[in-house]
């Protein structure tokens, strides 16, 4: 049962990661599609100003090239989203299914206090629970081996009847083996070695689990702090920066290159935020898996 739980935990972790990746690919596609819509609106403005003789043909050619480039990015993002959807379906074993993820990449209320995480790890980490159960089973085998070295008395009795010579006789016997040369030392030694091996495996798993909890906790905390910095310092400025760039172009204070550079920078800020969201969510899922918080408590 412990091995089954550990196997299911690995599959659950893979599914949760695939789900988060699908969410990220869908959001990336949405950002690029929105940027494409925004660029088409600017493209109409440039074409209109050029038809009135206010802008050069270079501006028209430059904005059209940028639009075609962004269109390719949208196509690639569509392919990546479809691939992520197929990957999630494959992990879950559903052929011909293309799921759409519905959720949020924002990290949840995962505890980051090490003592809390370590306590949960010792009780719920499937790999550790499985090894602990194997150690318990090995100790049971050692107890059995010690008991089997004790002699087992055998008592027999019955009645024998003969037909041709009419007669009936009864017999009774008792025997006790004397373990002069075999005291089950081989089985005891083998069971003792198995207990020692299982104990060492548990100790190794405990040490590895503690190091993994420390690593994944530090990674998740760091990525969550970086995400907060991006959201507080950069993301809120996107609408204002876009409006200022378009106004500067309309008023003739900036050229087409400055406008395109501004739109490209705004798109990169949104993609940077999405990338940070995805890596933070994946780090959270890894921490949950390492600490065993994505599985029910062991009975």
Instruction: Give the pLDDT confidence of 105-128 residue by residue, as tens digits.
Output: 999 899 999 999 999 988 888 888
Nearest by Cα to 260 from 37, 67, 74, 56: 67
How far is Cα 54 from Cα 252, in angstroms, rounded to an integer? Answer: 10
Q: What is the DSSP letter of 248?
A: H
- Residue 143 has phi, psi (to 5 degrees) of -60, -40
Residue 179, helix vs strand vs coil: coil
How far is Cα 154 from Cα 173, in angstroms, rounded to an integer? Answer: 8
Nearest by Cα to 177 from 201, 152, 198: 152
Q: Look at residue 268 in the predicted model and tell me its pLDDT.
A: 86
Nearest by Cα to 268 from 17, 31, 10: 31
- Check if the beta carbon of residue 63 is closer than 8 Å to that of residue 256: yes
Given a cut of 90, whether residue 56 has pLDDT beyond it is no
Q: Look at residue 219 in the predicted model and tell me its pLDDT.
A: 95
Given a cut of 90, whether residue 74 has pLDDT beyond it is yes
Q: Look at residue 104 in the predicted model and tell me its pLDDT.
A: 92
Please give the mean pLDDT across all residues of the chain. Answer: 85
The string of DSSP codes covering 132-153 is HHHHHHHHHHHHHHHHHTS---
Q: What is the pLDDT of residues 270-279, one digit of tens each?
A: 899 999 999 9
Q: Average pLDDT in the 83-104 region?
A: 92
Given a cut of 90, whether residue 52 has pLDDT beyond it is no
The fraction of the chain above a pLDDT of 90, given in percent, is: 40
Q: Average pLDDT in the 209-214 region?
A: 94
* pLDDT tier for residue 159 given thresholds of 50, 70 and 90: confident
How far is Cα 209 from Cα 214, in angstroms, rounded to an integer? Answer: 9
Given a cut of 70, whether residue 250 has pLDDT beyond it is no
- Residue 165 has phi, psi (to 5 degrees) of -110, 105
Tokens of 10: 């690995």
Q: Look at residue 72 in the predicted model and tell me its pLDDT.
A: 94
Q: Look at residue 254 in the predicted model and tell me its pLDDT.
A: 62
């Amino acid at each position: 049962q412990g091995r089954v739980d550990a196997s299911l935990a690995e599959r659950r972790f893979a599914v949760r990661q695939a789900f988060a990746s699908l969410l990220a690919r869908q959001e990336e596609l949405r950002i690029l599609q929105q940027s494409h819509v925004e660029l088409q609106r600017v493209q109409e403005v440039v074409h209109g100003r050029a038809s009135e003789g206010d802008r050069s043909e270079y501006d028209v050619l430059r904005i059209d090239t940028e639009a075609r480039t962004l269109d390719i990015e949208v196509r690639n993002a569509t392919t990546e989203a479809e691939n992520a959807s197929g990957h999630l379906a494959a992990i879950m074993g559903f052929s011909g299914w293309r799921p759409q993820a519905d959720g949020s990449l924002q990290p949840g209320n995962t505890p980051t206090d090490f003592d809390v995480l370590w306590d949960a790890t010792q009780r719920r980490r499937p790999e550790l629970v499985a090894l602990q159960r194997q150690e318990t089973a090995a100790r049971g085998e050692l107890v059995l081996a010690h008991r089997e070295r004790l002699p087992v008395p055998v008592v027999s009795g019955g009645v024998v009847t003969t037909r041709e010579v009419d007669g009936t006789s009864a017999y009774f016997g008792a025997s006790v083996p004397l373990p002069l040369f075999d005291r089950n030392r081989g089985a005891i030694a083998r069971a003792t070695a198995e207990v020692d091996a299982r104990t060492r495996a548990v100790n190794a798993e405990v040490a590895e689990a503690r190091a993994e909890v420390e690593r994944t906790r530090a990674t998740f905390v760091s990525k969550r702090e970086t995400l907060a910095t991006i959201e507080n310092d950069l993301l809120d400025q996107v609408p204002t920066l876009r409006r200022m760039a378009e106004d500067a172009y309309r008023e003739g204070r900036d050229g087409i290159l400055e406008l395109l550079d501004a739109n490209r920078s705004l798109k990169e800020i949104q993609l940077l935020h999405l990338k940070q969201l995805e890596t933070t969510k994946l780090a959270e899922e890894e921490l949950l898996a390492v600490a065993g918080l994505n599985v029910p408590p062991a009975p």
